[in-house]
Homo-oligomer: A and B are copies of this chain.
Amino acid sequence: MMAIALLLVGLPRQSWASMTNGGEGIGVVDSNAKLIRQVFDSALVSGRAYPMLRDLCKKAGHRLSGSEGAARAVLLMRDYLQGLGLDCVWLQPVMVPRWVRGAAEQGQVLTGDAEPYRLRMLALGGSVGTGPAGIRGEIIEFGTLKELEEADSLQVTGRVVFLNKPFDQRFVSAFGSYGGCIDIRFDGARLAAAKGAVGVLIRSLTHTLDTFPHTGSMQYGNASVKIPAAAVSTVDAEWISKTLLRLKKIGKRPKVEFTTFCLQLPDTLSYNVIGDWYGSDRPRAWMVVGGHLDSWDVGEGAHDDGAGCAHSVEALRLLKAVGYKPKRSMRVVLFMNEENGTRGATEYARWSAASGEKQLIGLESDRGGFAPREFSSEATAERIQGLQPWLKWLEPYGVYAIRKGGSGVDVGFLRPQGTELYGLVPESQRYFDYHHAATDVFESVNRRELELGAASMAALLYLLDQEGPVK
């Protein structure tokens, strides 16, 4: 589009707006509608989430717990919060695990051809390394953990298990596809070791067919033997699978060899970064908004979860910028160590329970910096029903629903305190193009989509504070 003359003739000026998500006409004009309009105007014209995210991505960089990047991110975001004029900005100490990748992974498949096939791979977070000697073994493929568990140990012993479970594309929610596959990453090594495997390769958890490996956390549980585990790109996964089939026909089985140099160092000191904004009426009742400050050690953690940090900080900045004075106290918490330990969330939950101060609301953004669409809530069905009239204030901005659903990993630790939990739900289709991969960089985030997310968070916080009643 567009042949302009015709559009201008055919449609009134208004229609340009009404052509998309809700248009600019706000049906309800009351004080809530006015304040929320101010918040969105401010976000779209002069929002700071996007430049904040650029700083976090480019000045701190990726920031796995215990890394230098994480330390830079703590100071950067503390300084940023201090610049907002909140009542108190503080660092909450927390001991975090420190897993390091070390030298880059190298892996190749040996098929008997002149040249081996070089794999694009990343060790899984928490995995032991192979060291310079590497490991080497015949590849045996399984489509699911169930297949692996049902396999004869004799088939698996001494081999490298290849877990090739593709995303079920039928989920409209991208997270649905992810949820169906995370078991291979999380439990694959433990189960393969129990069958005598010497290593594990998994197919990267993504919808796309590309050459980027996606890392993420795994655990050994109470396994007596820890074997190295890594993810290969989906293109490589497809190649391995086809090659296994091809060679099987001539009675051969390819070998894989790879080296990883990752290791677990002693726990180290890090911090949750916290900014408090005292409420006028119920200062000891807290509305917590946050994302996680740590990321995986590839890319820049832009969508996961730099975006959530930017959303959360900017939500408070926007409310301040339009002159709002909260009744309850608001607190932004940038949680450390969501990715591989959730120590930050654990510590904040412990501390806040001990403080005796009510953790009224927990709102998390940890699903990327895409255009907002919904809020999820872990509140009761009755309470959620009671919130539906609020949609008249949110729908003009493309937030169509408040719906039962999980909130977020970090604020989820407040569940035992009876905290009412919410999550921002942006458009999900592209999330796993970037998730835990080198592609998750600042440039993958759209300015307006990010700022709209921040404004949506601010609007919900405002409504929760203003419209209550929350007990």
Contact = CB atoms under 8 A, between A and B. Distances in A.
Interface in A327-366: 338-342, 366
A201 interface: no
Interface centre among A185, A219, A292, A448 (most CB of B within 10 A): A448
Interface residues of A, number: 83
A451 B219 CA distance: 36
A430 B447 CA distance: 9
Given A20-B175, A24-B176, A342 B427 contact: no
A400 interface: yes
Contact of A186 (B4, B172, B374, B423): B4
Contact of A176 (B17, B207, B401): B17
A18 interface: yes
A341 B175 contact: no
B24 A171 contact: yes
B446 A11 contact: no
A160 interface: no
Interface string A356-381: 00000000001100010110100000
A101 interface: no
A398 interface: yes
B429 A17 contact: no
A398 B428 CA distance: 10
A463 interface: no
Contacts of A449: 429-430
B404 A18 contact: yes
Nearest to A173: B20
A446 B423 contact: no
A406 B18 CA distance: 8
B367 A429 contact: no
A245 B175 CA distance: 51
A13 interface: yes
Interface stretch (A39-47, A228-236, A256-264, A267-275): A39-47
B429 A16 contact: no
Contacts of A28: none
A412 B208 contact: no
Contacts of A4: 182, 185-186, 216-217
A172 B6 contact: no
A409 B10 CA distance: 9
Given A171-B17, A433-B446, A217 B3 contact: yes
A19 interface: yes
B342 A173 contact: no
A54 interface: no
Nearest to A170: B41
Interface in A390-431: 396-398, 400-401, 403-406, 408-409, 412, 415, 423, 425, 427-430
17 contacts: A2-B409, A3-B340, A3-B341, A6-B342, A7-B406, A8-B182, A10-B406, A16-B179, A17-B175, A19-B173, A19-B376, A21-B373, A23-B176, A40-B170, A45-B169, A172-B398, A429-B446
Interface of A: 1-8, 10-11, 13, 15-24, 40-41, 44-45, 169-176, 178-180, 182, 185-186, 207-208, 216-217, 219, 292, 304-305, 338-342, 366-367, 371, 373-374, 376, 396-398, 400-401, 403-406, 408-409, 412, 415, 423, 425, 427-430, 433, 446-449, 452
